[in-house]
Structure 1
């Protein structure tokens, strides 16, 4: 058994905030034999699958982790391009509030040396002002007050029109009750009720809602309020974040894969799970034409593979639960365009710039070479730069040839989108206008779950009607105020904990920002 992690002690805190909450795993079930050998197949090698696999393997469970792609990390994976360059699905911010994700990464990088701080991530409004998160106090609510006082997005007249009573509601949150109270309410409706200043909506909608690849009218208002609480009003971790110092696979996920192997787990990449069948009190998992028998299975897949596996396994759950699985919706497609340019960006350019209102729906510009070592070496060798453009919730159909000829009267397509995104880059970085593209990678994907406005209690959660099957992933209901990569990790831990408790074993501590607001 590996040595206990710091999270097993009561005095240790995972971050700066002394009010962070430690959530103990459920106690081992009485009468279960903790020494009986157990085996689990984890379907999906993304963050949720890696989290579940780590906790299970550390407790002596034999784990087989199956991932259909050639590298681990799921939607935060990266992969080599064969010529010294790498590609990923886009930029991700590792916030200091991501306690559980950081606990997972500490297994291979205890000092977090591979996460480097970003000095600022300004938000640029097209044709307007720029907001900054640098030098904002960390302690709530002083951080939010200082940001509002400094931000050009808020004027005295705007603030006078805010509904103060509803604004104070943001300090009275109490999760998970707040999630339920906002059933059926969109992010746009939450801001309408607050009479949130029009000029400041890009701070709430473009940054938060679109980070879920969702249109604000379809994005959950409860999730928006939870993020207000986690980043602005309920946590002392601050508003800045860290980024990996090289590509995701090299510094994050491949080391975790090796860690799992050292614990006796079997890691299979480039392999798809095709079926699930019950076998007495166990499960048969179809992999590469063979069947693996296990005591349980963790389904930590994207939404569509989950739906396909459940549809082919009528023994899992009752009809209402299966209908909930079948009715899951995907968020609109998003685009990531990474370009290796023959010119450098201007000296002092920040790694990340959030944007709003620019042509092409540009959401951010990332200067990859300013923090990823592999990209930095390429830029130093060529004298160029590695620039990535993100457009979330573009809503274009996937699988379309971006170079195909289009009618001028046709609806906006990938060709138009790329043209507009490049024009936006020239506006923001005139020094790159006309730069030659030495290499490029274009991704258009629509495989993220839609975090919609439906009833909180009808969302899928970690445990299913069948004790042999648990779920994990960022699209699930989690009663803690966590989201995105942190929700993936948290539900991965919770999935492992649910199985371990049934088998008489102790699981992993879970941490979160305070679950109640300052005035709750």
Structure 2
């Protein structure tokens, strides 16, 4: 049987003394005259917006197209003691606003457990570990360079120091436009990190956005390096839910919202939005309902479609439609979940990031942390493995020739990384190929839609929406959802919700010594 993974207690407050609190508008404690808001999308962004509004007395209705809440971080039962999701998600300690949202139903975050390490392995066998690296910058960076087998000290001489100093010289959001037009690959080329360190320490961030580094924005790469490594003292370790996403997170939050009188419509895609003289009308397959305002928090493709179909000719609408139309989705990603006839070796990590294989980007041993998978393992004596590949070819039916080729490549990679699986039978499997995540491309940062639209009663939220803070992925979804709620509440003179952010200034901007070093570096060619 599998060993028990060792976990640490999940922290309840920001550890980083430089984490920043953003004070929201102050006004009435609750709405004074009845207001109704439609939240289009029941993912993280929509749930955050609905929570922020409902807690101030706003009448909220959520329209979610799927049978479950959670959006692209949802899970669903398969009916035979197994479940499925869209793939592993890490809940980093820097996700302050998402974690605050989860505390509505889990004050101590008992439904999250801390993974003690997640090694990153190249196809050459080199492995980086973060377990023993201190969390506080710059000690973490120095320790990584000294301990990493992917970063020989001789490689330091080749690193372009002005480019490297950019990673500790950020100011949000002012620095972001400096990288307009530059890809992550181009930035990595001029940084000149050693080859293996480049793959494990930096490209992993690009691929976690489902993007090829040549298409992925350099500003997102340097933001994530700041957020997780050089700018924050929260460290690189993360937490995971103790069971599937909906059991652990979204079903309890849905109950909390229903208790707050939020109406939740599942299996209810929105067909169209219509602005009226008095507000908005939201159309679904069962009819049209009036609202005072709309939070558009659907997936990127759906949101772009609803924006494109908005009627009107105001300059604000024309500008919004043009900016939304210039956004595209990232390449497809693949998730292959396997129920095996035997367990993998007990020394296998619960989560392993990989680089340099045919398609495999990470592999999870789900029974190490997910209760439903652990129960299946207890009954069947086999591991539940999840293989994840980012930026694969165009989406396809998993049963098509293209889908079967992706499956075959992932299985071959798994058997290379975990050789003991060669002799195991696959008792059951589920495969997903999806392409519904937005591409964080190299186009100008200011061109990306933001929470405010300039259109009365319409705000946007989601991980594809521009935020002025060093946040991304699930935390950007939660943050923009709360920012959307705060925008509407401020318009009604109601107190909003304070937010937290990782430090918005890099190390070189936090002290007199750092600023002196910064001046010297700038004199030698840094941005």
Q: TM-score, normalised by structure 1?
A: 0.93
* Alpha-carbon displacement from aligned partner over 1:14-51 (angstroms, at most 9, x marks no partner): 3111111001113449xx99411111000000000000
CA distance in 2, matches of 1:495, 1:34: 16
Number of aligned positions between the proteins: 497
1:442 is matched with which residue?
431
Equivalent residue number for residue 462 of structure 1: 451
Give the corresponding residue for 2:419. Answer: 430
- 1:261 equivalenced with 2:258 (yes/no): yes
2:481 equivalent to 1:492 = yes
Residue 373 of structure 2 corresponds to which residue in structure 1?
Answer: 375
* CA displacement, residues 109-149 of structure 1 (integer Å, 9 cap, x when unaligned): 00000110111100010023111011111111101110111
- The Cα offsets for residues 462-492 of structure 1, whole Å up to 9 and x where unpaired, read as 0112121100000111010000000000000
Q: Does 1:166 align with 2:163?
A: yes
Asked whether 1:508 is paired with 2:505, we answer no
- Is the deviation greater in 315-324 or in 50-59? 315-324
The 2-side partners of 1:171 and 1:399 are apart by 41
The partner residue of 2:97 within 100, 103, 121 is: 100
* Aligned residue number for residue 44 of structure 1: 41
Q: Distance in 2 between matches of 1:13 and 1:301?
A: 29
2:121 is the alignment partner of 1:132: no
SS in 2 for 1:489: helix
Shift of 1:163: 1.5
Equivalent residues of 2:22, 2:500 under 8 A apart: yes
Of 47-56 and 135-144, more deviation after overlay is shown by: 135-144
Q: Could you say what secondary structure the match of 2:508 adopts?
A: coil
Q: Distance in 2 between matches of 1:399 and 1:169?
A: 40
In 2, Cα distance between the equivalents of 1:156 and 1:445?
A: 41
| Residues 47-76 of structure 1, C-alpha deviations (whole Å, 9 max, x = no match) | 000000001000000000110101111110
| Structure 2 equivalent of residue 478 of structure 1 | 467
Are 2:357 and 1:358 aligned? yes
2: CA distance, partners of 1:33 / 1:444:
44
Question: Relative to 1, partners in 2 of residues 1:467 and 1:193: Cα closer, same or farther, differing over 3 Å?
Answer: same
Separation in 1 of the partners of 2:499 and 2:38? 22
* 1:15 alignment partner in structure 2: 14
For structure 1, which segment, 82-91 or 189-198, has the greater mean C-alpha deviation from structure 2 after superposition? 189-198
Provide the rounded CA distance (Å) in 2 between the counterparts of 1:270 and 1:337: 25
Distance 2:475 2:192 in 1: 30
Q: Secondary structure at the match of 1:212?
A: coil
Distance 1:191 1:327 in 2: 25
In structure 2, C-alpha distance between the alignment counterparts of 1:191 and 1:320, rounded to whole Å = 33
For structure 2, which runs of at least 5 residues remain unmatched after alignment?
1-10, 510-527
Structure 1: tracts of 5 or more residues without a match: 1-11, 407-412
Compute the displacement of 1:215 (Å): 0.6
Q: Structure 1 segments of 4 or more deviating over 3 A?
A: 26-29
TM-score normalised by structure 2 residue count? 0.92
Equivalent residues of 2:396, 2:403 under 8 A apart: no
- Aligned partner of 1:198 in structure 2 is 195
Equivalent residue number for residue 228 of structure 1: 225
Distance of 1:451 and 1:52 partners within structure 2:
22
